[in-house]
């Protein structure tokens, strides 16, 4: 099977003097275009795992292979570029740039890539804005939008560079259940439309149940890995 993302024997220790082990030799792989969720108790190591997957954090030991490329040997600049071109992040606290409008936030990954904002790019941005239903507020500053709108902006931003993998850490954590439903449907639609791989951390059982695969983490180990279909 075509694996877009592979983890091999990932361990993670925190702390310098007093070392606490958070991840214990995880092996995981994700198929291209799959829609996955990670669940587990608070403190079990979900965020730690996702951040390592996203190259935001380095594991103490083990390999991460993204699109066939082992990230171990990459320097900071190469990692930045890899993130920019392949990965999109959605966090619980959306993390938009408050100084910029929704549209500008969505265009930011393209500018980081060093590409001109030409007609084609604008058309894609508009399409994504339409898709996530932000047409009315696209010129609002990030701070002038509701929580749900901000989260949808973050999703559009994560998709702007045609990221092949979207990593989401409790994306609906502080949204009401209706909005949660909408955001989930949106991610699902994008998954179908662009074959984007999704890895979503969630506390919400109903969200997890709608994904194709549920991975449960307990105390830094994989407790359960269930695939539907």
Partner 1 sequence: MKLAYSIAKRFLGYNKGQTILIAVGIAIGVSVQIFIGLLITGLQDSLIDKTVGSTPHITITQEDETSFEEFMIDGGSFTAVAYQAEGPAFALSENDDASVLLRGLSADGDKLYKLSEKLIEGRMPSAMNEVILGSGLSEKLDVSLNDELTLRTITNQSVVVNIVGIVDLKVDAINNSWVLATLATAQSLFELKDEITSIAIQVEDVFEADVLAEGIMTFERVNEQNLSVVNWKDQNEDLLSGLNGQSISSLMIQVFVLVSVVLGIASVLAITVLQKSKQIGILKAMGITDKTASWIFLFQGLLLGFWGAILGVLFGVGLLLSFTTFARNPDGSALIPIAFDPVFIAFSGSIAIFSALLASFIPAQRSKKLSPIEVIRNG
Ligand X SMILES: Nc1ncnc2c1ncn2[C@@H]1O[C@H](COP(=O)(O)OP(=O)(O)OP(=O)(O)O)[C@@H](O)[C@H]1O
Identify residues 49-68 at the interface with Mg ion (CB under 5 A).
Answer: none
Given Mg ion, partner 1, ligand X, none, residue 35, with its beta carbon under 5 to 8 Å by kind, binds none
From the list 229, 163, 227, 228, the residue with the least C-alpha distance to 190 is: 163
**Per-residue interface string for the shown chain with Mg ion, residues 159-198, x marking contact by CB under 5 A:** ----------------------------------------
- Cα four-point dihedral sign 167, 170, 174, 180: positive
Identify residues 11-50 at the interface with Mg ion (CB under 5 A).
Answer: 47
Report the helix count and the strand count for the chain, using DSSP H and E: 7, 10
Cβ nearer to Mg ion, comparing 149 with 180: 180
Identify residues 140-159 at the interface with Mg ion (CB under 5 A).
Answer: none
Token pair of 20 as six digits: 């606490």
Order of all β-strands in the sheet with 61-66 = 20-31, 3-14, 61-66, 69-70
Given ligand X, partner 1, Mg ion, none, residue 176, with its beta carbon under 5 to 8 Å by kind, binds none
Q: Which residues contribute to the site for ligand X (CB under 6 A)?
A: 14-15, 20, 22, 40, 42-48
Cβ atoms of 88 and 163 within 8 Å: the answer is: yes
């Amino acid at each position: 099977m075509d694996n877009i993302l592979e983890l091999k024997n990932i361990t993670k220790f925190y702390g310098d003097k007093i070392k606490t082990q958070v991840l214990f030799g995880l092996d995981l792989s994700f198929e291209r275009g799959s829609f996955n969720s990670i669940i587990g108790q608070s403190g079990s190591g979900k965020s730690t795992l996702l951040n390592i997957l996203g190259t935001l954090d380095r594991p103490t030991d083990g390999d991460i292979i993204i699109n066939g490329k082992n990230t171990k040997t990459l320097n900071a600049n190469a990692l930045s570029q890899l993130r920019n071109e392949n990965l999109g992040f959605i966090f619980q606290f959306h993390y938009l740039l408050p100084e910029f409008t929704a549209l500008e936030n969505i265009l930011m990954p393209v500018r980081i890539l060093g590409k001109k904002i030409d007609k084609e790019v604008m058309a894609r941005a508009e399409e994504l804005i339409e898709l996530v239903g932000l047409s009315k507020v696209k010129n609002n500053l990030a701070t002038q939008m509701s929580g749900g709108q901000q989260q949808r902006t973050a999703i559009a931003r994560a998709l702007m560079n045609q990221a092949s993998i979207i990593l989401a850490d409790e994306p609906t954590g502080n949204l009401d259940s209706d909005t949660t439903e909408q955001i989930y449907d949106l991610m699902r639609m994008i998954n179908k439309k662009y074959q984007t791989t999704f890895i979503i951390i969630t506390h919400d059982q109903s969200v997890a149940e709608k994904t194709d695969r549920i991975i449960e983490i307990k105390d830094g180990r994989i407790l359960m890995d269930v695939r539907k279909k």
